[in-house]
Structures are given as C-alpha cells and as structure tokens.
Structure 1
Amino acid sequence: MEVFNTPNKVIITCNRRLSPYLAQEVEALGFDIVRAFNTGVEVNASINECIRLNLNLRVASQVLYEIKSFRARNADELYKALVTIAWDELIPFDGYFSVTSNVHNETITTPLFANVKVKDAIVDRIKDKKGVRPNTGPELNRAVIHLHWIDDRAEIFLDTSGETLAKHGYRKHPGKAPMLEALATATIMATQWDGQSPFINPMCGSGTLAIEAALMAQKRMPGLQRMNYSFMHFIGYDEEVFFEERRRLKDLTDKKNLPLIIASDISDVAIEIAKSNARTAGVEHLITFEVGDFAKTTVPKENGVIMFNPEYGERLGVHAKLEATYKRIGDFMKQECKGYRGYIFTGNLDLAKKIGLQASRRFEFFSGKLDCRLLQYELYEGSKDKLSESKTSKDADESPTGSKIHKLIRVQDKK
C-alpha cells in the first residue's frame, strides 16, 4: 500500500479553540483547507506532505492520514473491516505499534475494548501474511494507529505524529501551572505581534510565552527540536524527505535583526527553570531574564506587546490577594507601558474586572478544560484612553480574524 506519495484525507487536530490559528498556519504552508471544525482542520495530503506538516506546525496536536472509512455497528463488524486492510504493507512484521481512539458507540463500554479489536485485526493480518506478529503496547514513540468511531461510522488513520505536536520538546522543567506550548503560540498569534518590536512577559513562570515568542521571531520551527515521529516507523518511509525538510527549516531560521524579548518573575527558581527551558530550545541568548516584582520589569520606551499570564485564583484563600495583584497589573500597564498593546490571559473574568482598564478585544481560549480569555488593552496616553473606552464598551468575545472559516469555527464552538 503506497501512502507516502498518495494524497488522501488528512485530519490535523488541535486543542479546542485553537483551530483558527491552526488554519492560519496550514494555509501559510500552501495547503487548501477542505473543512475546519472546533478541534482541527481537514486537508488533502500524502504522508510525505504530512512530514512537512509535522515539522512546521506550532499549534497542532496530531496529523492523521486516513486509510479507510466504513460502517461498523459493533466490534465484530469493526474487526471484519479492519482485517481486510493490507497492514502487512504498512507496519513491519518485526516492528511495534500502538492504538489510540475516539469512540462513541452504544455497544462499546470502554474505548480500550475497541483498541484491542483494532490491534487484533492488525496482528492477525500481518501474522497471516508474514507468519510473524509485531509487538504492541501503549507507547507512542513508534507506529501509531488511530480509530475514530462515532455511532456506526468508523475511520482508521495512520497517526503520522505519534507523541503530540502541542508540546514542543524543550520544556524539561515545566514549573508551576505551565501553559501548553501550542496554546502559548496561539495567544501570541492572536496579538498579531510583528516579531520585530519588543515582547515583554512579566510573571513569566517557566518561560513558555517568552520562549515561543523567541522561536517565532527567529522563524525556528518546533520540528527542529524533535528526531522521532510515527511516520518514520511505517513501511515506505524515506529518511531523505525528513532530513531535506530539516535542512530547509534550518536555512530559513533568522539569526539577525531579532527583537528585544524580556521575561521577568519574582521567583529566582522560576527564572532558572525558564533559562534552562530557553537553553534547550536554543533561544536563551534572545531573551533578557530579570528577577523581581513584575512592576520593576524593564519596559523599553517604544511600541511593542506586553503579556501577562497571572494566577487565576482557583485555590481557596488566594482570591483577595489576587484582586490586589490584578489591580496592580492594570496600574502598571496604564502608567509604565504607554504605547504598547497590553494582554492578560486569565481563566477568571471576575479578577479581570479588577484590572481597571477597558479591554478592546477578547479572545476565547481553553487552558485544559478551563474557559479562558486573552484580554487586549490599547495603552494610549491622555485623552485616547477615554476614546478607546467609549469605542470598546460593547466588546464581545471574538475570533482572530473575520474570515468565513474562523466565523464558522466560532459558531460551532458555541453549540
């Protein structure tokens, strides 16, 4: 079965509410989007093209190449359909594979049972053809097969990614309540930061926002951090395709005219963790780290972006203290960050009211299962403050752009 050079349906998944930003990335790579939905986009691509997608996408989770779609009312029908697929031409008989799934079928009480049926069909087919069976297990560092089975409609995919793309491989020390790398990238994309003006990140924690900003400014793709993907473990893989794309991405990396990026935190431990993560990502030299209260953060006297990701106050007993912190953040932005666009990412809109500034835009996100907002503030001087407030007093949550794709995703997300 030739899949590396055969275009077919490909689903690129992402975390909920990141789909508009994923769509921007995919379109920028020259792919036409067939369909966009809450947690991903659909394109038409070969697995060799999936290699390019895996190495270039910052917001994605998995890149799934469809092998077959069919109807299956129960596990027996699932097995019968899957055992006819030429798995012996896809997975080495002496290899290893794992199965993941998204299953909602009334005859299945646990997805693990569906996974076992998929494994049985693959193993039985390969053993019948080769006389030997491959090994299986839960690890996602080799070949991965994904089942999507809703009601009686089933699809089977080659998961070309394996381990999620949403983690970019540099965060060996996560720190306290870290932001997922893909989410951090999407929030920066939402700001429409130009990658040349200053990017200031007080209360930086483990440094994810500052590191992602540095990677984006340098045009350094997350795929350069990783040397193992699921696509490498399917029959037909040509390593030269992978290494050629890596060479291309290295050549595209911009090492000149890079912006000033400043990350600060009151915890010297957090700064050491952030430095370590930045070193692993190869961007430590691009970030100025400062230890101290956020109000002491250096803010260059020029236009740029300043972004906070403060605590949300989910634990009892900390809400009153955070109210004062949010008010101080608002005062700091208003007094020390004039000319900047200010952003606060929070999962607590009650606390956000303590900022004391009128948000000009509100972007919807999820951090895990927590409903969050990225709030944008235009930090004008003098009378422009009042003008901005009067224009934005009726703000509503919005998508990153006004395109039809993004509006459609937003409508679906509300359902």
Structure 2
Amino acid sequence: MLTSQIIMQVFHTKSKIIITCNNRLSAYLQQEVEALGYKITRTFSTGLELEGTLNDCIPLNLNLRCASQVLYSIKTFTAENPARLYKELLEIAWEELIDFTGYFSVTSTVDNETITTPLFANLKVKDAIVDRIKEKKEIRPNTGPEANKAVIHLYWKENDAEIFIDTSGETLAKHGYRKIPGKAPMLEALAAGTIMATGWDKKSPFVVPMCGSGTLAIEAALLACDKTPGLFRMNYGFMHILGYEEEVFFAERRKLKDQAKREIDFRIVATDISEDAVDISIKNARTAGVDHLIDFSVCDFADTVVPEGPGVVMFNPEYGERLGVHSKLEATYKRIGDFMKQKCKGYRGYIFTGNPDLAKKIGLRADRRIEFYNGKLDCRLLEYELYEGSKREPKAAE
C-alpha cells in the first residue's frame, strides 16, 4: 500500500503496473514493452505486469499499439463484502490524488459472490472517494461514466481486491485516426498484433486486398514509419492526477515525433471492390498522416497489382456469421487461395478468419495457425508460404 506521503509522489514512486490487452494479444504487447526497455515480471493472456512509477506510465501510454489500459496500483487488500471494500478505500488519501474541484470516473473487474452487478461495486468506490474528499476538503468532486478525466479502476476477485489509477483513461486499443469505422472494422490494437505476428520486416511490400476501412494497411504504414498511436491523442488519465508533470509528456511526444519517418522506400497496397470502402480508407489514412504511403485502388481483390516480392499479403475477409451467405463466401475463399497461388509467389500469405469451415476452401495448407480473438469470436491468422515453384517439385534431370 502507498502511504499518504508516497501518494503525493506517485509520479516518482515505484509500484505495480498492469498493462491490459485483448485476449491473445499479450505476446505482442510483451514484445513492445520489452523493446521500450521495461522488465516484465509476469505475463498472462490479457496483459502483463511490471514495476514502475506513474511517470513510467507516460511512455507506455504513448508508445503501445496492442495495449488497452495502463493501470498503476495504489493498494491491495482483502474485502469479503461491499462494506469492507468501502472501509479500505476510505483510508486512501484521495484528496492527494484527485483534484477535488474536478471530475473522476470508476471502472471495475469484479467476481465476488456478494456483488450481482459491477455497477454496485463502482458505486461503493465512488462513495468512498467522494466521502473522503468531502471530509478532508469540504468539497464534493463530480463523478460520472466518461473516462476523459481521472479514472480509478477496481479489480476484485473473491476476497482479493486491488485499486488502481487507470493512467490511460479512454482505451488505447483504438488509435484515434479512424474517424469513419466502415463495415465490421478490425480493432486497431488487434490489427497491429496480427501484423506483428507475421514477423513482417517493415522493409518489403505489404498488400491488403479487401481492405475495408483500411485499418490493416494504415497500421502497417504506421509500423513502417515508426509512428506511434500517442501522436494522435492529447488526453490521458495520468494528466488528471495531482502532481502530473506535463514536461514529461511533451518530451516523450517530441521524441516520438522526431523518430517518425516521413517516407518509406517500398509499397503498401490496399484495394477494395467498394468505392465507399476505399474512400473511407483514404480519409482514415489521411487522419493518420500516412495516406501518401499507401497505394489505394478500387478493384476486385483478384485484380490487385502485387509488387515484386518477397513481401506479405494479408486478407481479412468476412467470416460468414450471417445465415445464407456461406455458398457465396466459399467461392470467395477459393478465389483468395487461387489469387495467392497465382499472383503472390515469393510472398507470405495471411488470412484472418473466424470460420474454420470456410478456411478449408482456400485450397492451401497453412504453415501456421496463430490464435486470436476478434471480440469474443475465436479466430485464426493462417500463414501460407507462397513459393515461386511447387515446394515438392522435383529437380530437373541433369
């Protein structure tokens, strides 16, 4: 537990940091965090743990592509019921953390038999914070559901409870450039994770037929030019904690701006048969500042012009969740397989799908099946080595 004296210095005091992510993204999140020089103490399916200060949370928030929230622990305790939860939280010097003239919100992950809805747990947290600040400062802070100011997060499983400052506030999984989502868009953090899973070298062509709203192509361009999501956002939860040093944030932001490359010397290609989809993609890419790095065109995916390889070609086709679309999609998946065989020789091909039956129609044997979730849907990123000739082709007789 952080004492009252330490609470005043959370930006310089080490504590547990939990970085959350969507299920099955933690391996790629781990790569990112280690690349930033942090030592990870524990990894789990929906995140990882390390130790650091609230100031350490600033570069984490600005750099990470696969993360959802960066949580800084301020107290762990035992709570068998809401009354004990309230009592423990009342002891924290909230008046030294939250601007009592400001606003805060509460989120939670709760699995306790005395709680039927997380909203009740959230209410007990809010009551404790408000009552403490009212007692110490004689002013009642405002609270509500918006996560755009100070955010406090409760983790409560059985009798074990932990309270965090959510230093992110609004989720990091949305990268801020996608003003027009398009039809069934892939979450930006998931798109980044799937690209990282391919092992793409960020130096060779990256081709996205059936690009939809352009998320995969845009994330590839951002990776290629070392442009991080933090450059699209100017508000985080840590900014609303007392003691925040804005010069730390602006120094990190300047560093990220300086490291971002303006140009690349290879092609990123994005195509879609829908003119509306390509128009949305171009607008989203423009917001991200990478529209000049992507070759957009309207065409059937089979007519996509593929640069000379090696490179990566990546599809995110429909999964056929609606009834009555399977026969049409079976033909589409077969055509995807034919396209990769005929036009993408020397490439590595990837298909992201949540439908294993349709995947069988591709007509190619996957070298790897990498597990992901898209929301709650169990998905696979299928990898295919697309050799110049047949892998089993015998050598010509000498």
TM-score bucket (shorter structure): over 0.9
Partner residue of 1:222? 229
2:41 matched to 1:34? Answer: yes
Compared CA separation, residues 93 and 385, structure 1 to 2 (3 A): farther
Aligned residue for 1:352, secondary structure, equals: helix
Partner residue of 1:117? 124
Partner residue of 1:145? 152
2:382 matched to 1:379? Answer: no
Q: Which structure 1 residue ranges, 5 or more long, are not aligned?
A: 388-415
Residue of structure 1 aligned with 2:115, choices 98, 108, 112: 108
Compared CA separation, residues 127 and 310, structure 1 to 2 (3 A): same
Partner residue of 2:67? 60
1:301 Cα deviation after fit: 1.8
Partner residue of 1:402? none
Partner residue of 1:193? 200
1:381 Cα deviation after fit: 2.5
Q: Report Cα offsets for 1:281-333 as digits up to 9, x if no partner.
A: 11011000010100000101221000000000111110000000000000010
8 Å contact kept, 1:217–1:258: no
2: distance between equivalents of 1:223 and 1:315?
A: 36
2:96 matched to 1:89? Answer: yes
Aligned residue for 2:313, secondary structure, equals: strand
Partner residue of 1:305? 312
2: distance between equivalents of 1:259 and 1:122?
A: 54
2: distance between equivalents of 1:94 and 1:359?
A: 58
Q: Which structure 2 residue ranges, 5 or more long, are not aligned?
A: 1-6
Residue of structure 2 aligned with 1:287, choices 286, 294, 299: 294
Partner residue of 2:3? none
2: distance between equivalents of 1:257 and 1:202?
A: 20
1:95 Cα deviation after fit: 0.8
Partner residue of 2:249? 242
2: distance between equivalents of 1:239 and 1:38?
A: 33
Partner residue of 2:13? 6
Compared CA separation, residues 385 and 165, structure 1 to 2 (3 A): farther
1:386 Cα deviation after fit: 6.3
Counterpart residue identity of residue 161, structure 1: S
Counterpart residue identity of residue 276, structure 1: K
TM-score (norm 2): 0.96
Partner residue of 1:205? 212
Runs of 4+ in 1 over 3 A off after TM superposition: none
Counterpart residue identity of residue 299, structure 1: V
Residue of structure 1 aligned with 2:30, choices 5, 23, 33: 23
2:370 matched to 1:363? Answer: yes
Q: How many residues align?
A: 387
Of 319-328 and 248-257, the range deviating more from structure 2:
248-257
2: distance between equivalents of 1:275 and 1:219?
A: 20
8 Å contact kept, 2:224–2:264: no
2: distance between equivalents of 1:206 and 1:15?
A: 21
2: distance between equivalents of 1:257 and 1:233?
A: 37
Of 308-317 and 247-256, the range deviating more from structure 2:
247-256
Aligned residue for 1:244, secondary structure, equals: helix
Aligned residue for 1:383, secondary structure, equals: coil
Aligned residue for 2:12, secondary structure, equals: coil
1:181 Cα deviation after fit: 0.3
1:385 Cα deviation after fit: 5.4
Aligned residue for 1:47, secondary structure, equals: coil
Counterpart residue identity of residue 14, structure 2: P
Partner residue of 1:48? 55
Of 153-162 and 124-133, the range deviating more from structure 2:
124-133
Partner residue of 2:275? 268
8 Å contact kept, 2:264–2:293: no
1: distance between equivalents of 2:310 and 2:99?
A: 56
2: distance between equivalents of 1:44 and 1:301?
A: 45
Residue of structure 1 aligned with 2:347, choices 340, 343, 367: 340
Identity across the alignment (%): 72
Q: Report Cα offsets for 1:318-366 as digits up to 9, x if no partner.
A: 0000000000000010011100000000000110000000111110000
8 Å contact kept, 1:178–1:206: yes
Counterpart residue identity of residue 355, structure 1: I
2: distance between equivalents of 1:379 and 1:262?
A: 18
Counterpart residue identity of residue 165, structure 2: L
Counterpart residue identity of residue 278, structure 1: A
5 Å-filtered alignment, 1:118-137, equals: 118-137=125-144
8 Å contact kept, 2:26–2:48: yes
8 Å contact kept, 1:379–1:385: no
1:169 Cα deviation after fit: 0.2
Aligned residue for 1:121, secondary structure, equals: helix
8 Å contact kept, 2:263–2:293: no
